[in-house]
Amino acid sequence: MMPLRFYIQVISIALSISAFGQNDSIFSRANDAYADANYKEAKRLYLSIAKDGQESGELYYNLGNTFYKLGNIPQSIYYYEKALKLNPEDKSIQNNLRFAERMRLDQFQSAPESEVEKGIENFVKIFSIDTWSYLGIGFLSLAGVMFAFFLFYRKPFLKRLAFGLCLLLILCAAGSFALAQTQLNNNKESVFAIIFAKEKALLEEPNPKSNVFFELHEGTKIRILDKFRTYYKVELPDGTKGWMETTNLKKI
């Protein structure tokens, strides 16, 4: 007799498959509504999928487009950023995000980076975390093959060659895993949010009587560095740092 846990797992899988199929149907209806310029209905349908716990770069990208058509720039930027987080190399998302950012009031010049820092950052981002990990596994597998050749070859030259290639592939694997870990750590440390208030003060200190540097506006993306009570320490794209109340900020 099958244990009760087995039946519970089967029912859970069946329900998840059913929900996936239902959301797939809703997604198609939302796409049709968007194509017919019925953006309010498209928004309702896309959001119903997101509220159901489903997420994908395509879903967030379509939500970004829908909110852009509805003139809601902060929501548009928010969903483009979420889409870009899942698909960082997608050119369509990058381009549409740039268009949406031009519509917001606050415009910033990015803080200058040294050529070395920029080169390292670009190199780490050549591949995604998963791709770097798969490369590491591939290099390790090839290293195992080379080690097998080293054990079975009898000619000294071929043994040295196989052993040398084995060490090189192990180093490549270690490098790939290190790059995957670096990118993962960067993602964990980089917590960003979008401002959803018409105006929001950037403060010198985390208290209501603090001096105000200046006012920021909806749609602006900030980096969260720290938290103290009901305030976040934040950094702007140009490197300016200050404190901001946690209300009306939506983490990406």
152 burial type by CB count under 10 A (0-12 exposed, 13-18 middle, 19+ buried): exposed
Supply the pLDDT for residue 88. 82
Relative to beta strand 199-203, strand 191-195 is: unpaired
Please tell me the distance from the alpha carbon of residue 244 to that of residue 12, in angstroms, as a whole number.
43
Q: Is the model more confident about 216 or about 188?
A: 216
For residue 54, name the pLDDT band (cuts at 50, 70, 90). Answer: confident
Number of folded domains that form the chain: 3
> Are 177 and 204 in a shared domain?
no
Confidence class of residue 8 from pLDDT cuts 50, 70 and 90?
Answer: very low
Print the domain residue range for 146.
Answer: 118-189
pTM of the shown model? 0.71
Looking at residue 236, which CATH number applies to its domain?
2.30.30.40
Residue ending a domain, choose from 166, 189, 212: 189
Enclosing H/E stretch for 97: helix 91-101
